[in-house]
Amino acid sequence: GLLENAAVILAGRKRRLTADGHELTFGTNHLGHFALTALVHPTLAKKPGSRIVTMGSGSTRLVTLRADDLQSEKRYSSFSSYALSKHATQAFGFELDRRLRAAGSPVTALIAHPGGAQDGLTPFRAGVNEPSVAQRFLAGLSFVAGGSKEAAAWPLVRAAIDPDAVGGQYWGRTTPIFGRPVLNTPVASSHSAQFGEGLWSLSENWTGIPFPL
């Protein structure tokens, strides 16, 4: 299977671009995953039971989708660009599910969101996560902003391996930030077939990679 969780969260005050000329957060969080999915899908399709899980975010409930400004050319802030990229990843996941079903593909597409997570509450892993004593202390004081990244991974893992999970499901947590992995309901725009189709076409154009599904 394919778990799509690479992300830029806060890219900075100034709008930055990828090497291909796309807004950094959108290019990394959505376009990179779209391109990767298009390239590996033929291989996954040969393996019945394969799953593709895209990672959404609760930030989509805080920032309204701007379908005409996905790359934040008209208006930019690091958080809004992150939320827009996650609007795209969620819509891509649902559009992928619709297309896989229509094609009779053995591949299943699901979507997940992690709730809240903090480095300071995440177990130490050399070279991966090495929070200082101060970071752990501050994370403990601000626990309302989320728990560990380990716990935040549960919805993604459940979507990937739960034998009862099916395509088109949206896995999150029992509250917007905390809790065990359970089925959630995304913002309405994520389910929009019109937006999903348009996003697919734009993504093919922006990446230069056709995804005929």
Q: Are 159 and 186 in contact (CB under 8 A)?
A: no
**26, 82, 154, 200: the active-site residue:** 82
8 Å CB contact between 213 and 103: yes
Task: For residue 125, give the DSSP letter.
Answer: B
Q: What is the chain's Cα-based Rg?
A: 17
The answer for 137, left when phi > 0, alpha when psi is -120 to 50, beta otherwise, is: alpha
User: 176: part of which helix (H) or strand (E)?
Assistant: none
Residues 82 and 71: their CA atoms lie apart, in Å, by 10
Under 8 Å between Cβ of 167 and 107: no
- Position 188: which residue type? A
Give the DSSP H or E segment for 161.
Answer: helix 154-161
Structure tokens at 170: 């949206």
Annotation marks residue 76 as catalytic: no
Q: CA angle, corner 25, sides to 187 and 189, nearest 5?
A: 15
Angstrom distance (rounded) from CA 83 to CA 69: 12
Catalytic (active-site) positions: 82
